[in-house]
């Protein structure tokens, strides 16, 4: 069968399986990424090799071809993440989030280095780059878990959001610098090679972050190439072409093309014209097709042959199983210490340390970069996938436990407060009853006083009336006497 036709078969099976299993896992309130990884394990070949149904080199799915095509998914994923990260908001999150993030990323990097150097018995260069696997956090899983618990708006929830974004940003920058500095195949003085690579990296970042956006703005200002384009989806084609070229030239200079796409996304996020034209379409196309395809491809690289576990010829380094607990502990301890240093209580620090446990998107991107550049082997890649499964499944349960303790204590506090309110209400009622009785007694006393006063007024009125009657009789007598005198005077006359 023609290779191109075969690739269509692989892509069709991969996309359908990834989307269906992603939907199933979402409905089970799990991350869709787990469903897409599980689809890759089931239909990408590992399931057949695990069950011993097929030779490990002769799988149903051509993993090499699928991996090459799925690299578009990494590039689009990081470009979308770059457009959504607001650097200004990150700088405004305060010293707390920045301090916690730097502390736990540093300890995670050290933990990863020691794990690889001591237990995996690898060289220093590998151990340093391996440490970057411990640094990333899955913001999607964290947000989903906090939202289900209705704690996204809490102080710990808002701090976790800022930390998760900062962690991913720092992890990608570390990968970009370390991959080019540590694994350059050029011969010569290592220090000079590293300095030269860092110089090229600085120039490349300057072009991507500063010059390219300014050039696009000038083209729009001078020729209106985006707002008045004569062809359909012109802006989308230009941006996708630029992303592809940047990724290509970055890889040629031994930099990560995916991380350069991430930086380009950050650089153009303030350009409303370009972002308005391309963000929605690229997000839909990326999340609908290429990103699930990438996670399916990651799952297809899961390699544990259960039929060979008892065989003397099967080699799987025992130290590699320490990766999962060390990855969780090193990052958790760093987050706890950073939280305590910034003034959080021990319980809040524990909640923050629990919230940064999950790994998913960025971890798999870093592992994919390492595998593509032949830094990591399939054993490392397999444990990375297991780390994703373990942390994504455990995080919601652990968050529920640490926040449930808080809720329980809050409820006890509310009950105590309610009892106190009832007692206060009862006391107030007794006081009101006592006051009411006093008021009634005062009212009765006032009534008696009013009655007494009324009787006195009536007596006074009666006395006045008697006086008036007496006065009236006297007036009448005086009038009569005057009349008699007038009659006498008249008779005399």
Say if pTM beats, i.e. exceeds, 0.85.
no
Q: Which one is predicted more confidently, 403 or 422?
A: 403
Q: What is the DSSP string of 382-436?
A: HHHHHHHHHHHHHHHHHHHHHHHHHHHHHHHHHHHHHHHHHHHHHHHHHHHHHHH
Give residue 423's pLDDT: 53
- What are the tokens at 488? 């006498």
State yes or no: pLDDT of 180 exceeds 80. Answer: no
State yes or no: pLDDT of 401 exceeds 70. Answer: yes
Percent of the chain as helix, strand, coil, to the nearest 5: 80, 0, 20
Length of the chain: 493
Are 38 and 21 in contact by the 8 Å Cβ rule? The answer is: yes
Indicate the domain borders of the chain. 73-283+317-403
368-383 mean pLDDT: 86
Q: Which one is predicted more confidently, 262 or 302?
A: 262
State yes or no: pLDDT of 186 exceeds 70. Answer: no
Return the closest-CA partner of residue 73 out of 61, 81, 85, 84.
81
What is the Cα–Cα distance from 382 to 386, expressed in whole angstroms? 6
State yes or no: pLDDT of 483 exceeds 80. Answer: no
Q: What is the DSSP string of 105-119?
A: HHHHHHHHHHIIIII
Return the closest-CA partner of residue 68 out of 31, 19, 14.
14
Using alpha carbons only, give the angle 184, 186, 191 rounded to the nearest 5 degrees. 75
What is the Cα–Cα distance from 409 to 376, expressed in whole angstroms? 47
pLDDT range class, residue 207, cuts 50, 70, 90:
very high
The 10 Å CB-count burial string (b at 16+, else e) for 349-385 is: bbbbbbbbbbbbbbbbbbbbbbbbeebbeeebbbbbb
- What are the tokens at 174? 């570390």
Give residue 443's pLDDT: 47
303-325 mean pLDDT: 63
- What are the tokens at 102? 């730097």
311-335 mean pLDDT: 79
Q: What percent of the chain has pLDDT over 90?
A: 40
Return the closest-CA partner of residue 356 out of 403, 404, 399, 402.
399
pLDDT range class, residue 374, cuts 50, 70, 90:
confident
CATH class of 73-283+317-403: mainly alpha
> Could you count the other beta carbons within 10 Å of the beta carbon of residue 139?
24
pLDDT in tens, 114-145: 999 998 888 998 999 999 999 999 878 888 78
Are 26 and 44 in contact by the 8 Å Cβ rule? The answer is: no
State yes or no: pLDDT of 282 exceeds 80. Answer: yes
Are 320 and 383 in contact by the 8 Å Cβ rule? The answer is: yes
> Could you count the other beta carbons within 10 Å of the beta carbon of residue 308?
16
pLDDT range class, residue 484, cuts 50, 70, 90:
very low
């Amino acid at each position: 069968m023609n290779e191109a036709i075969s690739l269509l078969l692989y892509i069709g099976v991969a996309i359908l399986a990834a989307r269906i299993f992603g939907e199933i896992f979402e409905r089970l309130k799990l991350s869709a990424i787990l469903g897409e990884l599980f689809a890759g394990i089931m239909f990408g070949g590992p399931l057949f090799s695990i069950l011993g149904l097929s030779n490990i080199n002769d799988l149903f799915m051509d993993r090499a071809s699928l991996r090459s095509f799925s690299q578009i998914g990494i590039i689009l994923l990081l470009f979308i993440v770059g457009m959504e990260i607001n650097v200004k908001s990150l700088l405004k999150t305060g010293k707390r989030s920045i301090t916690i993030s730097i502390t736990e990323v540093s300890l995670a990097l050290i933990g990863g280095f020691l794990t690889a150097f001591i237990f995996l018995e690898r060289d220093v260069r590998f151990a340093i780059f391996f440490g970057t696997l411990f640094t990333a956090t899955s913001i999607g899983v964290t947000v989903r878990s906090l939202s289900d618990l209705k704690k996204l708006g809490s102080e710990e929830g808002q701090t976790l959001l800022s930390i998760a974004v900062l962690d991913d940003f720092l992890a990608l920058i570390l990968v970009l610098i370390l991959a080019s500095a540590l694994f350059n195949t050029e011969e010569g003085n290592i220090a000079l090679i590293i300095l030269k690579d860092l110089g090229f990296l600085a120039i490349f970042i300057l072009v991507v972050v500063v010059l390219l956006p300014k050039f696009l703005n000038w083209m729009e200002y001078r020729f209106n190439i985006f707002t008045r384009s004569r062809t359909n989806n012109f802006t989308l084609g230009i941006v996708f072409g630029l992303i592809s070229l940047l990724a290509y030239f970055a890889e040629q200079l031994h930099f990560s093309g995916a991380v350069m796409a991430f930086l380009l996304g950050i650089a153009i996020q303030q350009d409303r014209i370009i972002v308005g034209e391309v963000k929605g379409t690229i997000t839909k196309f990326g999340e609908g097709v290429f990103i699930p395809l990438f996670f399916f491809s990651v799952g297809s690289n899961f390699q544990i042959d259960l039929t060979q576990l008892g065989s003397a010829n099967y080699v799987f380094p025992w130290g590699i199983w320490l990766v999962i607990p060390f990855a969780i502990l090193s990052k958790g301890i760093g987050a706890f210490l950073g939280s305590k240093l910034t003034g959080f209580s021990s319980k809040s620090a524990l909640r923050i340390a629990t919230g940064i446990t999950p790994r998913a998107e960025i971890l798999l991107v870093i592992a994919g970069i390492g595998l593509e550049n032949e830094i990591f082997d399939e054993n490392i890649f397999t444990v990375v996938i297991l780390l994703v499964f373990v942390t994504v499944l455990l995080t919601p349960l652990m968050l529920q436990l640490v926040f449930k303790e808080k809720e329980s204590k809050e409820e006890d506090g509310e009950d105590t407060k309610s009892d106190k309110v009832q007692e206060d209400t009862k006391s107030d009622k007794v006081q009101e009853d006592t006051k009411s009785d006093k008021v009634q007694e005062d009212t009765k006393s006032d009534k008696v006083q009013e009655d007494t006063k009324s009787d006195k007024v009536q007596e006074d009125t009666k006395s006045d009336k008697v006086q008036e009657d007496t006065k009236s009789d006297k007036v009448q007598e005086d009038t009569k006497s005057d009349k008699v005198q007038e009659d006498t005077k008249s008779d005399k006359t």
